[in-house]
Chains A and B, each alone.
Chain A
Amino acid sequence: MENKHLPNYLEYQGKYKGLMGWLTTTDHKRIGLLYFYSMFSFFLVGATLGILMRLELIAPGKQLMEAQTYNALFTLHGLTMIFLFVIPGVAAVFGNFFLPIMLGAKDVAFPKLNLLSWYLYILGALIVLSSQFMGDGPPDTGWTFYAPYSLKTQTNVVAAVFGAFVLGFSSILTGLNFITTMHRLRAPGMGWKRMPIFAWTLYATGWIQILATPIVGITLLMIAAERLLGIGFFDPAIGGDPILYQHLFWTYSHPAVYIMILPAMGVISEIIPTFSRKPIFGYTALIISSMAIAFVGYFVWGHHMFTSGMSDSSRWIFSFLSFIVAIPSAVKVFNWTATLYKGSIRLQTPFWWAMGFIFVFMIGGFSGLVIGSLATDIHVHDTYFVVAHFHYIVFGGTGFAFFAAMHYWWPKIYGRMYNTKIANVGLAIFFSGFNILYFPMFILGLRGMPRRYYDYLPQFTDGNVISTIGSWIMITGLLILIVNLAKAKKMTGKAVDDPWDGSTLEWKIQSPPTLENFEEIPVITGGPYEYKDR
């Protein structure tokens, strides 16, 4: 810690300088940042599309665009946000940057494979985006590519599904890399039960990525094959079955929700102990719940299909299992709350983000019970209720955790501290806007407004107007916090390495870290959250 003059990973110069130095890097921290810059750009694209959709929906009838444009817009919004932001999201950015450091390692197990994963991500992203400009117009299927519509539409579906297929490889390889890193590269003394919770959630995520992603890969290839070669997998006109497509698609895409949310829960489990000055409550329970989510999460996909026409017995079995998967998430919320008990709580920006996460995640989770239950799901299925639910989980959960992680680790990544007052104001505006944007959608859904509607009946106007106004407030908050982070100032003094007084390994090295993180591999003698000697 005394050697302040060691070059950090941002200054370090290998074989190439400048941009080439970044594009050929195998340093997990730089790869983490490559993901961060590309992913955040895609996030801003997706957010802009979302704002445009809300503008179109501010009143019934045509406002800005034709129906075809709107349909292409919500398809691209979904594709960008799901495949390019939330699925890789927290794991690829913060997992890459911090997993090796938290384990006391110099890098991930396969640094070159790690760089390849990023290139696959970029390649997949470019292919997905190319579908907008080539062929017979942007895809208009929704991100779910439901057959047989995705087989019949004249738009450029093949490029979009092929792009998503390539992105899948990036995800699988990252999962493999992280799992191997955890098995092989933990520092001496770091037993499995001394790993930080964030690492554990990446471990659970890694297994889902490896086991579930190939299923969507083959499904998307089947769509491409059916479109190009006329093989009848899914179109009943040539002997296929549309329900088969839905089964295959959700067998991956439901576990994918847990790929998004588990690392997010990991981030929250890091922040809460740091700012409560206490070990996380129920360390083992949190690990078991992560593994339980990963495991049970495989068996609940059918709840996306309660109205599809699958058998009555599968409807109630999937409903039953969906309620079971709610339990581990509830256990996490209880443990986070209990961690605060008798703590010494510092109300700083990352902590406020974690609290915001818990609140919106609870609303997302409770609304999940409504759509896990058969009678109620039938009414709100494919309505705005579902849109509200998954935005609360995916954006409220993963998105909030992503911003929490940015505010928590920014000083470590860049050695710069942002203005915490402005950050809190930004968060407050963002949080209000988020709820004004998404909460009215629950009501719209209960009143029966179906989703993916370009136009709607006049009785749904009020909720849509409120929601659109919410989108403006939220985007204001978002811009404030982005500008504030970008203007973060170089830190000086004692607090540079450990501004939050954290206990996990990343706070024991210099900010920004050196190329190999640790000059000497540390020897671990206790659990990850020990504050006794302070």
Chain B
Amino acid sequence: MYSGASNLVTTTDNAFFLIIGISVIFLVGISATIIWFLIRYNKKKHPVAEQIHGSNTLEVVWTVIPLILVMIMFFYGWAGYAPARKAPKDAMRIIASARMWSWSFEYENGVKTDTLYVPMNQPVLLDLLSVDVVHSLYIPAFRVKEDMVPGRTNRMWFIPQKVGNYELFCAEYCGLSHSYMFTEVKVLEPGEFDKWLTSQADTTRIIAAESNPGAAGRRLIEVNGCFACHSSDGSKLVGPSFKGLYEHEQKVMTNGELRSVIANDDYITKSIYEPDAEIVEGYRKGQMISYKNQLTDQDVQQIIEYLKTIK
């Protein structure tokens, strides 16, 4: 511990050391006392027990002293946490969205990524959203965690203090691929970060304008986390692979009936907007949410353009 990766590490770890320190003293003290009593007052050494019923003084002592100690622990815990709830006004805002089972991060200039990039020594405020079930954004090195609850916006903030890559986990159980809902936080030097952010914005613009078919679609798939469940190389994940999908025959279950369809534009649009309407044979219902409110018709068209490139 004490890696100092964020502004919250020291206060949190101090509370840890205080609580664990007091606990170890008591654990060792009580255990030693018990062992001493077992030896000293063993039947062989002490054949007749003294009939003691209790002591009010002792009861008061061992109620009041632990009470004081836990109040100190409470105070350290609260004092270490209180700053985590008061984000500075100039904090950089990033919208963090979770879905089963991927992340996306949207920056103030509209750039979207699946990895969290943050500048060093600048307060960062995350608006935490979820589109389906409860997730929890957890960066162990920063000592931060807050649930992402559908229907509301939770917040967390921190100041990254060391350049590097850190793990970011989902900490609230969210179904099948919960343990694979994992990404990274990349802390960059402020200058590097600005460069990165502008270049990303440019890339987005260039890709959108570019004639290279499918590049914009691929990017949409990346930032929306589709690859978490659909591979591009034919391997079977939670959902069917994108490879070789377009205009090929698919066996799907529609209202409990197995039938064959051709994966044309209509089929793909429907699969994105109403994923549970037709389930490909061998896959489970209820794994994917509707992207009706997240992808426009134009976005879907871009995605189809991409799918055409990996027929």
Taking beta carbons and an 8 Å cutoff, which residues of A are in contact with B? 67-68, 71, 140-142, 146, 148-149, 152-154, 235-237, 240-243, 276-279, 281-285, 307-309, 312, 315-316, 319-320, 323-324, 326-327, 330-331, 333-335, 337-338, 340-347, 355, 358-359, 362-363, 366-367, 369-370, 372-379, 381-383, 446-448, 450-457, 530-532
Q: A340, B63: Cβ atoms under 8 Å?
A: no
Which residues of chain A are near B78, meaning CB under 8 Å? 316, 319-320, 373-375
Contact with A along B55-83 (1 / 0, CB 8 A): 10011001100110011011011111100
| Sample of 17 further A-B pairs with CB below 8 A, known A309-B154, A366-B20 | A67-B176, A67-B179, A154-B285, A235-B150, A236-B151, A281-B53, A307-B145, A309-B147, A342-B49, A347-B38, A366-B26, A373-B15, A375-B143, A378-B81, A378-B144, A530-B51, A531-B49
Q: B176, A327: Cβ atoms under 8 Å?
A: no
Shortest distance from the beta carbon of B233 to any chain A beta carbon, whole Å: 19
Say if the beta carbon of B282 comes within 8 Å of chain A: no
Most interface-central of B26, B46, B179 (chain A CB within 10 A) = B179
Which residues of chain A are near B58, meaning CB under 8 Å? 282, 334, 338
- Ranked nearest first, the 4 interchain pairs of A and B with the lowest CB-CB distance are A236-B151, A373-B77, A448-B140, A375-B80
CA distance A285 to B63 in the complex (A): 10
Q: B178, A345: Cβ atoms under 8 Å?
A: no
Q: B145, A379: Cβ atoms under 8 Å?
A: yes
Q: B33, A345: Cβ atoms under 8 Å?
A: no
Say if the beta carbon of B209 comes within 8 Å of chain A: no
Q: A344, B43: Cβ atoms under 8 Å?
A: yes
Say if the beta carbon of B103 comes within 8 Å of chain A: no
Contacts A344-B49, A345-B43, A375-B76 hold; do A450 and B171 have CB atoms under 8 A apart?
Answer: yes
Taking beta carbons and an 8 Å cutoff, which residues of B are in contact with A? 1, 8, 11-12, 15-16, 19-20, 23-24, 26-27, 30-31, 33-34, 37-38, 41-43, 46-55, 58-59, 62-63, 66-67, 70-71, 73-74, 76-81, 84-85, 128, 132-134, 136, 138, 140-141, 143-147, 149-152, 154, 167, 169-180, 182, 284-286
CA distance A152 to B73 in the complex (A): 40
Q: B30, A379: Cβ atoms under 8 Å?
A: no
CA distance A331 to B132 in the complex (A): 45
Q: B152, A236: Cβ atoms under 8 Å?
A: yes
CA distance A367 to B26 in the complex (A): 12
Q: B30, A152: Cβ atoms under 8 Å?
A: no
Q: List 7 A-B contacts (CB under 8 A).
A: A276-B41, A282-B59, A307-B171, A323-B70, A375-B15, A376-B15, A450-B179
Which residues of chain A are near B70, meaning CB under 8 Å? 323-324, 326-327, 369
Which residues of chain A are near B170, meaning CB under 8 Å? 450
Q: Point out the residue from A67, A284, A330, A376 that lies within 8 Å of B19, measured CB to CB.
A: A376
Q: A366, B23: Cβ atoms under 8 Å?
A: yes
CA distance A375 to B13 in the complex (A): 8
Which residues of chain B are near A320, meaning CB under 8 Å? 74, 78
Q: Point out the residue from A243, A307, A369 that lies within 8 Å of B146, measured CB to CB.
A: A307
Which residues of chain B are near A323, meaning CB under 8 Å? 70-71, 73-74
Q: A382, B62: Cβ atoms under 8 Å?
A: no
Which residues of chain A are near B179, meaning CB under 8 Å? 67, 450, 452-456
Q: B173, A452: Cβ atoms under 8 Å?
A: yes
Which residues of chain A are near B19, meaning CB under 8 Å? 366, 369-370, 373, 376
Which residues of chain A are near B46, meaning CB under 8 Å? 342-345
Contacts A285-B59, A381-B145 hold; do A68 and B51 have CB atoms under 8 A apart?
Answer: no
